[in-house]
């Protein structure tokens, strides 16, 4: 089984419900085991700013799916939860991104791992730190990476313990 970190985000409708439903659907896949779940954070939008705040979380799973098979699972869940891709970085019911896949580096037209913007986004790094505080990039700890971003992006705790609800 391979360790994979995913990021979840929602800013349309019942945001918390969409996060929980995405986790439930991931857990229901026989090839995926949920290992850790971060708290939920409320975050200001990045990129396209004319939209509501997001709820974001990170999860650690173990899977025997290939990166492409996992991408198919995550995009299927997004479609089931009525994700529409109309505006880049725009509003969405659910967004499930593959952040890290057991040290794999992959870059093609379908999938990039590590996620190309993860190290620049406090709304990804803060929940990720909660489930793996020892992550680093280019000799910088995840705390140091977050400190470089925290003034630029609003991120605050929304709900600490929600794993019993999924």
Query: Which residues are known to be catalytic?
Result: 83, 92, 95, 97
Tokens of 106: 């992959």
How far apart are the C-alpha atoms of 133 and 99, rounded to whole Å?
A: 15
In 3-state terms the chain splits into helix, strand, coil percentages (rounded to 5) of 30, 30, 40
How far apart are the C-alpha atoms of 129 and 35, rounded to whole Å?
A: 15
How far apart are the C-alpha atoms of 72 and 74, rounded to whole Å?
A: 6
User: How big is the CA angle at 15 (ends 10 and 17), to the nearest 5 degrees?
Assistant: 120
Alpha helices per DSSP H over the chain: 15-27, 67-80, 122-131, 142-147
- Tell me which residue has tokens 């939920």: 40
């Amino acid at each position: 089984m391979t360790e994979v970190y995913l990021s979840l985000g929602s800013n349309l409708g019942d945001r918390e419900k969409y996060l929980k439903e995405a986790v439930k659907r991931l857990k229901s896949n026989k090839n995926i085991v949920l290992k850790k779940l971060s708290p939920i954070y409320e975050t200001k939008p990045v990129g396209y700013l004319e939209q509501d705040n997001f709820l974001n979380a990170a999860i650690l799973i173990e899977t025997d799916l290939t990166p492409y098979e996992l991408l198919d699972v995550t995009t299927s869940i997004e479609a089931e939860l009525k994700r529409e891709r109309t505006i880049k970085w725009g509003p969405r019911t659910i967004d499930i991104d593959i952040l890290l896949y057991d040290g794999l580096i992959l870059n093609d037209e379908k999938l990039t791992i590590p996620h190309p913007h993860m190290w620049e986004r406090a709304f990804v790094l803060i929940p990720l730190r909660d489930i793996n505080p020892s992550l680093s990039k280019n000799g910088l700890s995840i705390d140091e990476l977050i400190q470089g971003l925290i003034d630029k992006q609003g991120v605050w705790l929304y709900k600490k313990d929600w794993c019993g609800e999924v």
